[in-house]
Structure 1
Amino acid sequence: MRYRATPEYREKIRQTKIGEKNHQVKLTKDQVISIRQEYEAALQDGYQKTATQYYLAKKYSVKRSTISDIVLRRTWKHI
């Protein structure tokens, strides 16, 4: 078995690429927390989910799908 195919190696790589450790990251931990808080507050105020996601995407200069993944905890799960 090749070294890179072992579960231990995959876990090591996953841990080194998580959150702000990823060299392609566009958001910080604080921004992710802020996005989640703003999103929840907007929903409680009666705003639509998609409209809120588009607003936050423009505010943070990312795509709407990125905001969706953050609030649904598909990405940045560790926060």
Structure 2
Amino acid sequence: MTNYGKIKSYDSSSGTGAITPDKGGDALRFKKADLQQEGQIPKVDQRFSYETSEVDGGKKHAVNLQMEQGQREQAEKQQG
């Protein structure tokens, strides 16, 4: 099931971050490898779609993160 949320934090040095679900609840952790566009660095408040996976004994983790289409175009323009 696809969910939506906004990036709460991202640490480029460790390649980990957190996304806050639109529907509420605790922020979910993710890794750079979970991004569909690995070359894209997520920024705080960018909206992404994602799926969840249970890891570490049932903790939910965000996977298959993909930037929303309109935001992707805007990010590409900013990059040059």
Q: TM-score, normalised by structure 1?
A: 0.23
Higher RCO (C-alpha 8 Å, min separation 6): 2
Q: Which has the higher strand share?
A: 2
Q: TM-score, normalised by structure 2?
A: 0.23
Q: Which has the higher helix share?
A: 1
Higher Rg: 1
